[in-house]
Copies of this chain bind each other. A is one copy, B any other.
Amino acid sequence: MFSRACEYGLRAALYLASLKHNGYVSIREIGERLNISVPFLTKIFQKLTQAGLMQSLRGPSGGVMFARSPEEITLFDVIVAIDGPDLFTECVLGLPGCGEAAPCPLHDHWKEVRTPIRDLFASTTLADMARRIQEARLRLTA
């Protein structure tokens, strides 16, 4: 479904949102907490900052933090920033230039399920998830 990088990015974003700590958090701390390779996670956060979702600061007491409120960042935003929009635009058979005009046989069935997927991720904010994590002690790591 998602690339490993995207899974890591989602877990890291959910972890940060659950902290309720406004200020920079170092990537090393996040990686160690979630058992994710710190150098790899650094690359992922670079994408998130370049996409404008996070902002970063170097040096001691530096790290990464949300560029806007977790209330205004959806899972969709994170996914697209890391994996690109292909999952929500390209489609099951991978045919070039497909769509309503020249549909493949699956099109009618598939569009009924692709939209709910997109809506789910587009309507769920990091803050929503953070509330769930705190209420039910849900886990982000093994």
Contact = CB atoms under 8 A, between A and B. Distances in A.
A97 interface: yes
Given A2-B92, A87-B1, A109 B105 contact: no
A4 B96 CA distance: 13
Contact of A97 (B75, B102, B142): B142
B87 A142 contact: no
Interface centre among A2, A109, A133 (most CB of B within 10 A): A109
Interface residues of A, number: 39
A120 interface: yes
Interface stretch (A6-14, A24-32, A44-52): A6-14
A57 interface: no
Contact of A109 (B92, B97, B102, B124): B124
6 contacts: A1-B1, A11-B93, A75-B106, A108-B132, A112-B120, A117-B117
Given A105-B132, A109-B124, 20 more contacts: A1-B91, A14-B105, A75-B106, A95-B139, A95-B141, A95-B142, A96-B142, A97-B142, A103-B139, A104-B138, A104-B139, A105-B129, A105-B138, A105-B140, A106-B129, A109-B120, A110-B120, A112-B120, A113-B116, A113-B120
